[in-house]
Structure 1
Amino acid sequence: MSKLKNRCWTLVQHSAYTARQDPTFKNAVESASLSTHQELGQVVDAGALLFTSYADAEDAADEISKDALDRALYPEQVSADTPTGPLTFAESLTIGGRPLFLPPAPPNS
């Protein structure tokens, strides 16, 4: 497997859930660095998010995880009417042992 010359990142299920099964982080994501062309190809083929900047990956992870973490950590600040649904992960495709996050498909125009 050839190594990537330029680093890339994607989003995966949060390690606090994958390692410790902490339910607070079940619907949370974190960034994961891609190191090989094979990983890059798998992420692209799966339709997952791809970032060329660590900061952009972290910002996206924060935004995607916000509802789940706010609901768990700050329940008094979250309206019960705020819709939240489970995130989708590719259980069979992992980066560093964490399932790859698959964003929802864009609505048909």
Structure 2
Amino acid sequence: MTTATLDTCIRDCLDCLRECEICASTCLGGEHTSMMAECIRLCQDCADLCTLCARFMLRGSSLCKEVCVACAKACELCAQECDKHASHDDRCKRCAEACRLCAKSLHQVAQAA
């Protein structure tokens, strides 16, 4: 696996982490918090896994592949949920886009590991 592939994936994980945290915070601050509960939960799960995944890649962990696969799944689930709200919430739209990009990078790293 190339250093460029890892660097791109780490950057995508950190970008996704940021967008997920912003999305969750925005959803928590809205007037329809109960309706957004699943979106909030998935954003938080995705953000946590993106943090963990970036750290595992940075240290060259032997568990990197497994963590990348789990993180990609979280990204895909989060993107699907955020897509449901993207038409009326720009934060959800941005989060879904970041999650899809991150999942793509994670799959590349997992395949190369």
* Superposition TM-score, scaled by structure 1 size: 0.39
**TM-score, length of structure 2 as denominator length:** 0.38
Larger radius of gyration: 1
Bigger proportion of residues as helix: 2
